[in-house]
Amino acid sequence: MRPLKNEETLLVFGKLKKYIGSNVRALLERSDGLYCFRLHNGRIYYVKEDIMKFAATLPRDNIVSLGVCFGKITKGGKFLLHITALDFLHPYCQNKIWIKESAEQNFMYGNHVYKSGLSRISENTPKYSGVVVLSSKDIPLGFGVAAKATAECRHADPMDIICFHQADIGEYVRNEEALI
């Protein structure tokens, strides 16, 4: 378990900024203590500093996981967010998409969100920005990338893609072994 290098930090914070904007600082300096990001076995973990200091006394081989896995850095040098980061992205996310109940299952099977399944969208959502996908009852279902801006959504055809799928809570069942 080691601190992130500068280029890794830029990758992680760049991806988080896409979803939560300037609220990245709120993730690290919370009211319940200080948190940090650590790399272990190619995965980025979000962990409280007190726990991280305690874990530093353990041998690396004995640590399987520590804190919450936010994602992993691929061999190609990109950072991929895991669905386990959803609970931390949701409160700080600037752009949100609500989908109809009829489209929830389709999204949870890993499909994109179409205009026909869109219930509403945050005002001034830019094209290609990170969005959190919510049910009509404000339950976070996953996250993705906006395929169209808010203004474009109003005039889109029912079969146009509004949000590209990135991750959904159905992954807890589909990819159970890869989420650790």
Mean pLDDT of the chain: 89
Q: What is the pLDDT of residues 25-57, one digit of tens each?
A: 888 888 888 888 998 888 999 999 888 888 888
Please give the CATH topology (third level) of the domain spanning 93-174: 2.30.130
Please count the CA atoms within 13 angstroms of the CA of 74 that sit on its side-chain side. Answer: 7
Q: What is the pLDDT of residues 11-32, one digit of tens each?
A: 999 999 999 988 888 888 888 8
* DSSP per residue, 91-110: GG-S-EEEE-HHHHHHHHTT
- 2-87 CATH pick, 3.10.450.220, 3.30.300.130, 3.90.1170.50, 3.10.180.10: 3.10.450.220
CATH 3.10.450.220 occupies which residues in the chain? 2-87
Please name which of 124, 152, 121 lies closest in space to residue 134, comparing C-alpha atoms.
121
Please name which of 151, 171, 163 lies closest in space to residue 118, comparing C-alpha atoms.
163
Q: What is the pLDDT of residues 109-162, one digit of tens each?
A: 999 999 999 999 999 999 999 999 999 999 999 999 999 999 999 899 999 999
- Positions of E strands within the chain: 2-3, 29-30, 33-40, 43-48, 68-73, 79-81, 96-99, 113-114, 118-121, 130-134, 140-146, 161-168
CATH 2.30.130.10 occupies which residues in the chain? 93-174
Would the pTM count as exceeding 0.75?
yes
Residue 86 CA from chain centroid, whole number: 5
